[in-house]
């Protein structure tokens, strides 16, 4: 059975199991104590290999390019396409929310109920605090943060952009020194890359069970279906926007690389399913890299750069969500702020905010605070604003992470094609031949 079917079965069973446990006395505690840890172990393993994988594949990839000017072309193209797709996402989001107007007509009773329940909840307070810390930084802090002062700290803290910078630096210098001197280090990273890729294969054997645990744990967190139903229209807007965005990627791929959308989806789907289950592009990164390199045929030198950068700066799903969420909140509690100028400001700040969002669960909601503040949203209303969307944030986070990951994979294919680095996929064994492993 193909890996994605096994993962889907694990997810469905996890959801059913979660609902059953939700209705049994002590069921939630059972999931928290005995099921959730297996999901956590899986995410830990993926994070464990993310940093060595970026380091190895990028250093090896750059040293294979053999030409520094190609790095410049690749970098520039990647960034321009990333910004372009993010703008498309925000425009889709804003169009939907302005046409459907999901926030109009919400009764004061419902608003009051949501406010009471979530305004001072730990989740909302935590997001506001995080947003405050982020805001205190100077305008160029994000740029300064790319350059590490201590590589071991950068590796230890898994600072993606710092690791990417270091890997690029090493890769470029390997090109600048005599080939004979560079060879041992290139060989070392090549070998490390192979080992880590094999680790991805092995970890993925555990994926169907891990997604069972992750989804069962998501389901037990839902407690108030009444509030969920009240937010249904808002959630439908976000999900429809995300689906449109996936449609956009498929057209982009078909037009530019001539590959069939179904072929693309069947090959990338394990990464999408993991993005959905983990809500984290960073945790999904090793799997995205494996799928893109071995199953879509993108050369390492492109995927090694485009994907880690994308996981950190390209979040189309997040920016689409931020546009919809900001306008939805205004429709409900600050209709006077709904001006055309403010929506233009949202386009710019949602773009920047998605670049600045960390690739971890619910980071998009933290940055939403900054988007709202940029249009002068009254600060005393901020906790209520976040409370409004809090109940459905986790499922929407799962969906937007799928789009974030799909966007990165799409752009890596497009950039690879434009550089002549897209070839026939070369799937390696093990995850593809489960029988052989057994």
* Cα–Cα distance for residue pair 93/408, rounded to 1 Å: 19
Q: How far apart are the first and last CA of the chain?
A: 14
- Per CB under 6 A, which region of 219-227, 326-334, 336-344, 353-361 contacts ligand ASP? 353-361
- 298 in helix, strand or coil? strand
Q: Could you say which residues in the range 236-295 bind ligand ASP, by CB under 6 A?
A: 279-281
**CA 315 – CA 376 distance, rounded (Å):** 24
Q: What's the number of CA atoms in the CB half-sphere (13 Å) around residue 173?
A: 7
CA geometry: angle 178, 182, 185, nearest 5 deg: 175
Quick one: 21 or 389, whose CB is closer to ligand ASP? 389
Of the two residues 60 and 400, which places its CB atom closer to ligand ASP in the complex? 400
Binding mask 154-193 for ligand ASP (x = CB under 6 A): ----------------------------------------
43 binds ligand ASP (CB under 6 A): no
**343 forms part of the interface with ligand ASP (CB under 6 A):** no
Question: At closest approach, how far in Å is the CB of 385 from ligand ASP?
Answer: 16
Which is closer to ligand ASP, CB of 93 or CB of 171?
A: 93
Interface size with ligand ASP, residues (CB under 6 A): 16
- Closer residue to ligand ASP, CB minimum distance, 204 or 396: 396
Quick one: 269 or 279, whose CB is closer to ligand ASP? 279
Binding of residue 363 to ligand ASP (CB under 6 A): yes
Angle at 284 between CA 265 and CA 252, to 5 degrees: 35
Does 74 contact ligand ASP by CB under 6 A? no
- Is residue 360 involved in binding ligand ASP (CB under 6 A)? yes
- Work out how close the CB of 232 gets to ligand ASP at its nearest, in angstroms, rounded to a whole number: 20
Taking the complex as a whole, the smallest distance from the CB of residue 146 to ligand ASP amounts, in Å, to 19
Q: What's the min distance (Å) between Cβ of 396 and ligand ASP?
A: 8
Q: How far is CA 168 from CA 121, 142, 161, in A?
A: 43, 18, 10
Q: Check binding of 318 to ligand ASP (CB under 6 A).
A: yes
Classify residue 149 by its DSSP letter: S
Q: In the range 402-431, which residues lie near ligand ASP by CB under 6 A?
A: 404
Give the torsion through C-alpha atoms of 207, 209, 211, 213, to 10 deg.
-140
Closest CA relative to residue 11, chosen from 236, 212, 247: 212
Read out DSSP for 76-118?
HHHHHHHHHHHHHHHHHHHHHHHHH-TTTT--HHHHHHHHHHH
**Residue 5 main-chain phi, psi, to 5 deg:** -70, -40
Taking CB atoms, the residue at the shortest distance from ligand ASP is: 364
Residue in 397, 412, 413, 431 binding ligand ASP, rule: CB under 6 A: 397
Closer residue to ligand ASP, CB minimum distance, 71 or 161 = 161
Structure tokens at 351: 């773009």
Beta bridge partners of 422: 298
- Candidate list 215, 218, 315, 389; residue touching ligand ASP; CB under 6 A: 315
Burial-class residue 430 by CB neighbours within 10 Å (0-12, 13-18, 19+).
Answer: middle
**CA of 382: how far to CAs of 273, 319, 372, 376, in Å?**
33, 19, 8, 11
- Nearest distance from C-beta of residue 428 to ligand ASP, angstroms: 27
Closest CB 40 distance from ligand ASP, rounded Å: 16
| Closest C-alpha among 320, 345, 328, 316 to residue 99 | 328
- Choosing from 39, 103, 270, 361, the residue that interacts with ligand ASP (CB under 6 A) is 361
- Residue closer to ligand ASP (CB basis): 294 or 397: 397
Kindly list the residues in this chain that would bind ligand ASP in the complex (CB under 6 A): 279-281, 315, 318, 357, 359-364, 397, 400-401, 404
């Amino acid at each position: 059975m193909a890996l994605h079917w096994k993962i889907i079965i694990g997810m469905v069973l996890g959801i059913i199991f979660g609902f059953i446990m939700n209705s049994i006395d002590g069921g939630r505690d059972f999931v928290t104590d005995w099921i959730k840890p297996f999901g956590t172990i899986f995410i830990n393993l993926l994070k464990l290999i993310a940093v060595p994988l970026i380091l190895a594949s990028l250093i090896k990839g750059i040293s294979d390019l053999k030409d520094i000017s190609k790095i410049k072309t690749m970098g520039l193209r990647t960034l321009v396409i990333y910004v372009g797709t993010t703008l498309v996402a925000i425009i889709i989001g804003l169009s939907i929310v302005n046409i459907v107007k999901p926030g109009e007509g919400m009764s004061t009773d419902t608003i009051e109920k949501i406010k009471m329940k979530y305004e001072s909840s730990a989740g909302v307070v935590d997001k506001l605090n995080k947003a405050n810390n982020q805001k205190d930084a100077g305008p160029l802090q994000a740029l300064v943060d790319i350059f590490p002062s201590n590589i071991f700290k950068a590796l230890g803290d898994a600072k993606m952009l710092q690791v990417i910078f270091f890997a690029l630096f090493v890769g470029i210098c390997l090109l600048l020194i005599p080939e004979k001197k560079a060879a041992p280090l290139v060989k070392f990273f090549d070998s490390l890359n192979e080992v880590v890729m094999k680790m991805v294969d092995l970890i993925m054997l555990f994926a169907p069970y891990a997604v069972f645990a992750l989804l069962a744990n998501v389901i037990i967190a839902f407690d108030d279906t009444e509030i969920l139903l009240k937010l249904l229209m808002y959630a439908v807007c976000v999900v429809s926007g995300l689906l449109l965005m996936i449609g956009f990627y498929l057209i982009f791929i078909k037009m530019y690389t001539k590959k069939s959308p179904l072929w693309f989806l069947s090959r990338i789907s394990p990464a999408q399913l993991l993005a959905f289950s983990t809500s984290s592009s960073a945790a999904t990164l090793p799997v995205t890299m494996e799928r893109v390199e071995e199953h879509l045929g993108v050369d390492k030198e492109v995927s090694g750069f485009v994907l880690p950068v994308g996981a950190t700066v390209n979040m189309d799903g997040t920016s689409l969500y931020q546009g919809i969420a900001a306008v939805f909140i205004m429709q409900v509690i600050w209709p006077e702020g709904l001006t055309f100028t403010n929506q233009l400001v949202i386009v710019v700040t949602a773009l920047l905010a998605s670049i600045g969002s960390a690739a971890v669960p619910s980071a998009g909601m933290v940055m939403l605070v900054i988007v709202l503040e940029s249009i002068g949203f009254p600060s005393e209303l901020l906790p209520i604003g976040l409370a409004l969307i809090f109940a459905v944030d986790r499922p929407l986070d799962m969906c937007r992470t799928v789009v974030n990951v799909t966007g990165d994979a799409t752009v890596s294919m497009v950039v690879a094609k434009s550089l002549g680095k897209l070839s026939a996929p070369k799937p390696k064994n093990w995850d593809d031949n489960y029988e052989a492993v057994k």
